[in-house]
Amino acid sequence: MKFLALGDTDGIGASCHYLDLNGTGLVLDAGTDPQRDGPDSLPRFEWVSDRADGYVDHAIITHAHHDHMGSLPVLVRRFPHVMAHMTDATKRLLDFLLPSSARLQQKRLDRGETSHEPLFTEDDLDGLEHLFLTHDLDTPFDLTGPNGASSVTGEFYSAGHILGSAGVELTFEEWGRERRVFYTSDTNMQAQTIIPGGDYPDDTDVLVLETTHGAESAPEETSRREERTRFRDTLARVLARGGTALIPVFVMGRAQEMLVLLGQLKREGAIPMDVPIYTAGSMRAIAEIYDDTRNTTPRLDPSDQVFGVEQERVPYEAEAKREILDGPGIMVVSSGMMFEPTLSNVLARRMVENEEDAVLLVGHPADGTPARRLLDAAREEQGAPVMLADGHGPQPVYCTVERFRFSGHSDRRDLLSIVDRMDPDTVLLVHGDPEARTWMAEHIREAHPKIDVHRPDWGSVIDL
């Protein structure tokens, strides 16, 4: 068995890992790096042949976030016979998100925001439909490549991350014995608002484990229930003083979770029923997919519907935007990192100097992003300056800024519990910054000295 990381291993972008399982070539995910542009955002697909002397027969797409599926059309262009395997919900999301991505790339080129041609176009996507195969959870499917010396079987398990997300177990024979590899992908072992926690097998030989929160102690020091209470109380105070609450979200996953939570808070009487909730863009189309699959995918309560929560569109006109910012009101808009020129960035620039308003961050604000700069400025002192966009600012921060840990990822305590329960011979630590992978490696070795722990280097082939 060979393992080769094709995406940068010192971060969480462009997740993509190549496996050679006794002659069958697989990739686990095919993402793009959201903080890089053009070809630099892609995994290094050429390394499959150049460094591993291999070919890609099958791709496993674990979920529909762009850092796990955004380069799939490029992978197919390089390996035309590859078959892509995913859950039905993930395919429904890809059918919407990939054409949307193609259009956005062209718009950015037309606006002069990038000098790079689109990685793929809508026309490129037309011929891919027959290459996308869907599978139910807990149902084995064949992944054997034409040159495989033994059969390879895959099986999806619910990952608890977003709609359709799955970890995958790979079973094959090598040197006369059965071996099993389990790839968690992005995982959340705790229930969210809509999606229940992950459900994985009890053991494996090789565990490929994500480490997003491996360096953070804070997530394990609180609970979702505590964060929900703190969020409820903060939001109620903002609305009671007539303010507007901006909730920057990722359009896929966090947006739908937060909207259902807001609906619950209204029904509980924690916030007024008549306070308007504004949404915009593609999250509304994704909400329909969430609702359409509520009886066929893992749910805490299938009766909860995203569009069961009354919501209004954020108006396009600048003057109308100013009018709806005269609260009380709630804005659930993208992007979660508040990248320029997304709607969350535009609205935040109009709100940060208003003491009545609030920006409530419900995800991880990565270093260097506008969301992190805003949070750091608010923690420094009242009126500390922040630069949210080039040519706009610096602005003094007087609004309330709070971070709430509603992550779709497991904390490091739960990640370690996966290792404890599955008791692998080998662990490969991926999808985390160097500090996260280092912390996880040290603690796995301390608790399980016999486990062989690897922190794969980008582009280095590991023989297992």
Q: Which of 379, 403, 427 is where one domain is finished? A: 403
Measured CA to CA, the distance from residue 230 to residue 248 in angstroms comes to: 17
Amino acid at residue number 387: M
Residues paired with residue 157 on neighbouring β-strands, in sequence order: 167
What are the CA-CA distances from residue 175 to residues 1, 144, 376 (Å)? Answer: 10, 17, 54
Which residue in the block uniquely carries the two structure tokens 């935007």? Answer: 321
Two structure tokens written together for 247: 């909730």
151 and 286, same structural domain? no
Distance of CA 442 to the CA centre of its chain: 26
Return d(Cα 308, Cα 2) in angstroms, integer: 48
Q: What pLDDT, in 10s, does the model give residues 139-177?
A: 999 999 999 999 999 999 999 999 999 999 999 998 889
Are both 299 and 427 inside the same structural domain? Answer: no
Residues in Cβ contact with 156 at an 8 Å cutoff, skipping those fewer than 6 apart: 87, 135, 136, 137, 138, 139, 166, 167, 168
DSSP output for 414-434: HHHHHHHHH--SEEEEESS-H
Both structure tokens of 142 = 């064949």
CA 95 distance to own-chain centroid = 17
Shared-domain flag, residues 83 and 112: yes
Q: In terms of residue numbers, what domain contains 199?
A: 2-216+408-463
In this structure, the answer to whether residues 91 and 233 fall within a common structural domain is no
Please state the length of the chain. Answer: 464
Domain count, the chain: 2
DSSP string of 445-460, one letter each residue = HHH-TTSEEE-PPTT-
CATH code (residue 422)? 3.60.15.10
Distance CA 156, CA 165 (A): 9
Q: Does residue 240 sit in the same domain as residue 382?
A: yes
How does pLDDT run across 9-37, given as a tens digit for each residue? 887 779 999 999 999 999 999 999 988 89
Q: Which residues make Cβ contacts (< 8 Å) with residue 246, sequence separation at least 6?
A: 331, 333, 344, 347, 348, 351, 357, 358, 359, 360
How far, in whole angstroms, is CA 210 from its chain's centroid? 12
Note the pLDDT tens digit of each residue in 38-66: 999 999 999 999 999 999 999 999 999 99
118 DSSP 8-state letter? P
CB 55 within 8 A of CB 18: no
Cα separation, 418 vs 436, in Å, equals 16
What is the Cα–Cα distance from 337 to 248, expressed in whole angstroms? 7
- Distance (Å, whole) CA 366 – CA 68: 17
pLDDT at 34: 82
Say whether both 436 and 380 belong to one domain.
no
Q: Tens digits of per-residue pLDDT, 277-292? A: 999 888 888 999 999 9
For 155-314, where are the alpha helices, taking DSSP H only?
A: 224-240, 254-268, 283-292
Looking at the fold, whether 99 and 241 belong to one and the same domain comes out as no
Find, among 151, 69, 65, the residue nearest to 337 by Cα. Answer: 65
Whether 366 and 233 map to the same domain: the answer is: yes
pLDDT at 2: 97
Q: In terms of domains, do 382 and 252 share one?
A: yes
Interacting residues of 460 by C-beta distance below 8 A, sequence separation 6+: 4, 5
- 15 and 150 assigned to the same domain: yes
Are residues 80 and 206 both part of a single domain? Answer: yes
Q: Which of 42, 408, 3, 49 is nearest to 208 (CA)?
A: 3
Strands (E), 22-103: 24-28, 58-60, 83-86
Q: In this structure, what are the phi and psi dihedrals at residue 152, rounded to the nearest 5 degrees?
A: -125, 130
| The domain boundary residue, chosen from 403, 430, 450 | 403
Which residue's structure tokens are 């953070």?
216
For 433, residues 6+ apart whose C-beta sits below 8 A from its C-beta are: 10, 11, 12, 215
- CATH number for the domain spanning 389: value is 3.40.50.10890
Torsion of CA 164, 85, 407, 304, to 10 degrees: 0
Pairing of strands 141-142, 358-361: unpaired
CA 52 to chain centre: 28
Which pLDDT belongs to residue 283? 85
Round to the nearest angstrom and report the end-to-end CA distance of the chain: 5
pLDDT score at 319? 75
Nearest to 58 by CA among 167, 184, 147: 147
Residues 272 and 337 in one domain: yes
246 close to 402: Cβ distance less than 8 angstroms: no
**H or E stretch covering 350:** helix 343-351
Which region holds residue 431: left if phi is over 0, alpha if psi is between -120 and 50, else beta?
A: left
Q: Enumerate residue ranges in the chain where pLDDT < 70.
A: none
pLDDT at 70: 96
Domain boundary among 377, 403, 429: 403
d(CA 234, CA 49) in angstroms, rounded, equals: 53
